[in-house]
Amino acid sequence: MQTIFVSRGSYRRGRELAERLADCLGCRCLSREDVIEAATQHGIPVGKLEEAVVKRRPLTEALGLLAERYKAFVTMTLCERVLEAPLVYHGRAGHLVLPGVQHILRVRALTDVEDRYDGVVDRLHLSREKAKQYVGQVDDDIRRWIRTMYDLDINDPALFNLTVNCSKLTVANVATALVSMAQLPEFTATPAGERRLENLLLAARCRLVLADDPRTRDLNAQVRADSGSVSVTYPPRQSAIADAVGEVLSGDAEIRQLRCTVAASTILWVQERFDPESATMASLLDLAGRWDAAVDVVRLLPETEGTDAVEPVVAEAAPSLSGGDGGILDDAGVMASDSDDGGVRETVHRLIQAGRAGAQCNVCGGQQSLIGSLCNVANVSLVVVDELFLSRGEAIRKRLTRDLAGRLGERLRVPVIGAEELRTRYLFGAKQWLQLLMTGGLTALLYFGVFTHQEELLAFLRSQGTTERVLAVTVVTLTAPLVAYLWGTAAHNLLRLVRFE
Amino acid sequence: MQPDAILGLFIHLSWSTAAQVVMLGFIGGVLSGFIGSGGAFFMTPGMMNLGVLGPIAVGSNITHKFGKALVGSRRHGQMGHVDKKLSVFMLATAAIGIRLAVWVMKLMFHDGGDSHATARGAGADLYISVVFVVILAVVSISMLRDIVSSRRAEGEFGPSRKIVDFLNRFRLHPMIYFPVADVRVSLWVVMICGLATGYLAGTIGVGGFIGVPAMIYVFGVSAQVAAGSELYLAMFMGAFGALNYALEGMVDLRLTMLLFIGSLVGIHIGAYGTKVVKEVVIRLATAVIILLCVISRLVATPVYLRKLGFIRFDPGYDTLFQAVSKGLLYASGIGGTAIILYFVFRAFFERRKIRESLAVGRVEQAAV
């Protein structure tokens, strides 16, 4: 059962290519326009969302919820269709909607920009200059849409299995090539992949039901599902709304268990192997408690021969861990088995005990795969990376970890730190006590010096000679940041000490 | 200059005055952390009400802002909320704006009654007050109108996009792309906004009230990136402003240091507040607090007008005007801060309660 998602952007023959592919594979063809029409009929004002993005409006709380509602609808629709029968979908960001489902062939179809100008000139009867502006505007709108909805760059080639420049190729030949690629074993549906789709479908359906119901419409919830177990995470200020979640979702017969967790944010913990008794675990629980955060456990498996080019294999799971992760590798037994899950099971169990369990996923295929897998994780405040690339030498391990931290920080735009930094920067230990005493002491000394010599200081600040003026300026411009740093650090540590963060 | 004359320029600091300056810093810090501006709109007139001469209040506050922005922009930078390119482009003209403002201020300080003992600095005080009232009245009324109109129009609370859409129609070249903010803006628009931001930062120490709305309403930048980028810009503007005011001998380092004591604690508490209070409440509170500050400054203006000889009334009324002005300012700052603190501590204790319940076990609803 083959499924192909074509990201066509504004390439005008993308539709033709998708329909040709559907003919060749003997399956249905679904377009972005079909999904939007269905969403509009469902009562989702997609036009309002598009207008906000095109007109460059920052997303308000209400628009953010609308975006989540639309994404849930699209995810649900695509999951249903893919589970029903083979499918060719064409649109803008279909390749981003079902993360971690490996057997979908994700293709970017584009053409030379000069061809596109010609096309616009022919189709809309515009001058070439106007056509250039038009194409630029359309590309800008699409890029903005994907950035707003998924916080990703459409031009990132790592998001696709294949990018095809159709300028010098006929649609028929491109379709033939893609069909043969879709026949490869990596793009054949597996039970694990279907399980992953079912989880995504259940989570999206629950999210949509919550967004549709007036009682929970304003709930800023993250919904995850695993084999009928649904986890709804919401911020503390919405505790009152969250009380209605159970009632609203009671109509879904596929929900076996429902868990509601309050979380202000998410902390991602990325390692190759986990130890629930480790100091990092204790530090993370402490920090998650302070922040009311959920901890997502992400196991990055080493790249092995033959898996380097494979797309991320992801398993989101809740407390009861499944070995499944939705990819062909899982069926082949490459992924963690029950006997060696890298300590994930015990770690998640410990997190559940502390009421801090978020999602859990396994990622195979290196840095790029990890970054691709994490693109849809919302509300992340911090990423902790440690104990990675364990099969490599120490120097290489450090370099790769540093490189990964840099790329994750760039993509997620949150601090990415190591376990050691977690203890020193975010938690209160001996080092922080020392820092508090030192900065507090130095601040006190500085203030004592200034306020016991007020008249001399004021005379100095108003002194008239050139040298004296330069000195006065230097003293003022150096003292202000010094005091801000010293007292700022001391005050920050004091507030951390009383858990006021 | 003789010591007596120097002490005449700078206020005598009693324990009570020092405590009031610390309190001004704390309230300014809470408001600053909560609404994302520098808090100078409260601290500058607050110090003036304590008897600090206008230019010295501005100079001391801008120096305080420099140090605070240095620390704050580093934190925002770590969170990815700073568009350095945007800040650097605005800085180019903001520096000219600050220099211009200091020059005008110096002119006002010396020509506006400096020679007369009772009217020392009244010209500069009046000038600062007028700019303060005009600019902040426009800002607060616009914010209130925006809240009301967006609520009526769409049932949601997004900032108005009228100016961005209007300017986008013209596409005044060269258009510059700012990657972090993800906007494309005409260089000319950026330069004009930079100049206005710098001029106001140099005049009343309130650059953020022009810089942040300009980035949101004129450039179309998201609120978080606007706040982060403005803070980054404020760091350089503050440094430049502090340098200029210090060069003129108009910085009272004691006041700067006292402001730090309160503001650096308050800013953390205010920032905590933004996580637990709805966006519309934040904007509403900001608009009301600014409006009250404007009225407070308006009430103090007759005193300066009398000192300059523009109007006549019994000097005995000066105390009354000052007291009402001070009362209004304190009412706005203390009232606003009290509301913020109420939300902050309520959330803080709620979180503690939740944490305690989670420590016992999962918050789990019954199986459906």
To the nearest whole number, what is the mean pLDDT of chain A?
78
Specify the pLDDT at position B151.
52
* pLDDT above 70: residue A489: yes
Please tell me the distance from the alpha carbon of residue A198 to that of residue A205, in angstroms, as a whole number.
Answer: 10
C-beta atoms of B182 and A459 within 8 A? no
Quickly state the pLDDT bin for B364 (edges 50, 70, 90).
very low
- For residue B236, what is the nearest residue in chain A, using CA coordinates? A477
What DSSP assignment string belongs to A432-444? HHHHHHHHHHHHH
pLDDT tens per residue across span A28-63: 899 888 999 999 999 998 888 888 777 766 566 677
- For residue A251, what is the nearest residue in chain B, using CA coordinates? B368
What is the side-by-side order of every strand in the sheet holding A28-31? Answer: A28-31, A87-91, A3-7, A104-110, A162-165
- For residue B79, what is the nearest residue in chain A, using CA coordinates? A414
Quickly state the pLDDT bin for B224 (edges 50, 70, 90).
low
Taking only residues 299 to 358 of chain A, the set having a beta carbon closer than 8 angstroms to any beta carbon of chain B reads 352-356
Q: Which of A446, A454, A476 sits opposite B63 (nearest CB)?
A: A476
Please tell me the distance from the alpha carbon of residue B206 to that of residue B216, in angstroms, as a whole number.
Answer: 17
Domain boundaries in chain A?
3-187, 212-426, 430-497
Taking only residues 92 to 111 of chain A, the set having a beta carbon closer than 8 angstroms to any beta carbon of chain B reads none
User: What fold, for A212-426?
Assistant: Rossmann fold (3.40.50)
C-beta atoms of B182 and A58 within 8 A? no
Nearest-Cα distance to chain A for B332, in Å, is: 25
C-beta atoms of B350 and A239 within 8 A? yes
A445 inside 8 A of chain B by CB: no
Q: Are A205 and A336 in contact (CB under 8 A)?
A: no
pLDDT, mean of residues B210-228: 75
User: Is A62 or B266 the better-scoring residue by pLDDT?
Assistant: B266
Contacts of A149 in chain B (CB under 8 A): none
Quickly state the pLDDT bin for B237 (edges 50, 70, 90).
confident
Could you give the C-alpha distances from A467 to A7, A474, B3, B99, B105, in angstroms and in order?
Answer: 67, 11, 19, 21, 24
A289 inside 8 A of chain B by CB: yes
Specify the pLDDT at position B114.
45
* pLDDT above 50: residue B291: yes
pLDDT tens per residue across span A85-118: 888 998 887 777 787 788 889 998 888 888 888 8
Specify the pLDDT at position A284.
84
Specify the pLDDT at position A377.
62
Q: Which of B154, B157, B253 sits opposite A457 (nearest CB)?
A: B253
To the nearest whole number, what is the mean pLDDT of chain B?
75
**Cα dihedral B161, B163, B169, B173 sign:** negative
C-beta atoms of B246 and A472 within 8 A? yes
Please tell me the distance from the alpha carbon of residue A477 to that of residue B30, in angstroms, as a whole number.
Answer: 24
C-beta atoms of A355 and B183 within 8 A? no
What is the side-by-side order of every strand in the sheet holding A257-262? Answer: A222-226, A229-234, A257-262
What is the side-by-side order of every strand in the sheet holding A265-271? Answer: A357-364, A293-301, A265-271, A380-385, A416-417
Specify the pLDDT at position A73.
93
Contacts of B222 in chain A (CB under 8 A): 58-59
Contacts of B75 in chain A (CB under 8 A): none
- For residue A449, what is the nearest residue in chain B, using CA coordinates? B254
Distance between start and end Cα atoms, chain B: 82
Contacts of A63 in chain B (CB under 8 A): 156, 158
C-beta atoms of B246 and A476 within 8 A? yes
C-beta atoms of A484 and B70 within 8 A? yes
pLDDT tens per residue across span A178-205: 988 888 888 888 888 888 888 899 999 9
Please tell me the distance from the alpha carbon of residue B26 to that of residue B227, in angstroms, as a whole number.
Answer: 20
C-beta atoms of B363 and A262 within 8 A? yes
pLDDT, mean of residues A456-466: 81
pLDDT tens per residue across span B89-133: 888 888 888 888 878 877 776 655 444 444 556 777 788 888 888
Residue B284 in tokens: 């509403």
Query: Do A212-426 and A3-187 fall under one CATH topology?
Result: yes
Specify the pLDDT at position A355.
63
Nearest-Cα distance to chain B for A260, in Å, is: 6
Q: Which of A56, A147, A491 sits opposite B265 (nearest CB)?
A: A491
Residue A305 in tokens: 């021969």
Specify the pLDDT at position A444.
92
User: Is B76 or A128 the better-scoring residue by pLDDT?
Assistant: A128
C-beta atoms of A457 and B13 within 8 A? no
C-beta atoms of A459 and B3 within 8 A? yes
* pLDDT above 80: residue B26: yes
Residue A316 in tokens: 């989101």
Could you give the C-alpha distances from B208 to A483, B32, B41, in angstroms and in order?
Answer: 22, 10, 10
Please tell me the distance from the alpha carbon of residue A314 to that of residue A66, in angstroms, as a whole number.
Answer: 27
C-beta atoms of A487 and B261 within 8 A? yes
Please tell me the distance from the alpha carbon of residue B280 to that of residue B247, in angstroms, as a whole number.
Answer: 42
Contacts of B68 in chain A (CB under 8 A): 484, 488
Specify the pLDDT at position B207.
62
SS3 label, residue B178: strand
Q: Which of B10, B164, B268 sits opposite A458 (nearest CB)?
A: B10
C-beta atoms of B256 and A483 within 8 A? yes
Q: Which of B220, B256, B366 sits opposite A480 (nearest CB)?
A: B256
pLDDT tens per residue across span A300-337: 887 654 333 333 333 343 333 233 333 333 333 334 44
- For residue B261, what is the nearest residue in chain A, using CA coordinates? A487
Nearest-Cα distance to chain A for B318, in Å, is: 28
- At A232, which helix (H) or strand (E)? strand A229-234
C-beta atoms of A257 and B251 within 8 A? no
Specify the pLDDT at position A332.
35
Please tell me the distance from the alpha carbon of residue A447 to that of residue B255, in angstroms, as a whole number.
Answer: 11
Specify the pLDDT at position A309.
35
Contacts of B158 in chain A (CB under 8 A): 52, 57-60, 62-63
* pLDDT above 50: residue A487: yes
Nearest-Cα distance to chain A for B313, in Å, is: 35
Using omega within 30 degrees of 0 as the cis cutoff, is the peptide bond preceding A86 cis? Answer: no
* pLDDT above 80: residue B162: no
Q: Which of A414, A294, A314 is nearest to A356 (CA)?
A: A294
* pLDDT above 50: residue A227: yes
Q: Mention the CATH class of domain A3-187.
A: alpha beta
User: Is A175 or A242 the better-scoring residue by pLDDT?
Assistant: A175
Helix ranges (H only) for A219-263 are 239-242, 245-248
pLDDT tens per residue across span A254-312: 888 777 766 667 788 888 888 888 888 888 888 887 776 778 888 888 765 433 333 33
Could you give the C-alpha distances from A242 to A39, A223, A496, in angstroms and in order?
Answer: 25, 12, 29
A466 inside 8 A of chain B by CB: no
A167 inside 8 A of chain B by CB: no
A63 inside 8 A of chain B by CB: yes
* Region for residue A69 given its phi and psi (left: phi exceeds 0; alpha: psi -120 to 50; beta: otherwise): alpha
User: Is A89 or B355 the better-scoring residue by pLDDT?
Assistant: A89
Output DSSP code: residue A390: T
User: Is A7 or B208 the better-scoring residue by pLDDT?
Assistant: A7
C-beta atoms of B268 and A481 within 8 A? no
Interchain CB contacts (distance < 8 Å): A and B: 202
The pTM for the full model equals 0.55
Output DSSP code: residue A159: G
C-beta atoms of B366 and A262 within 8 A? no
pLDDT tens per residue across span A414-436: 778 887 777 766 667 777 788 88
* pLDDT above 60: residue B77: yes
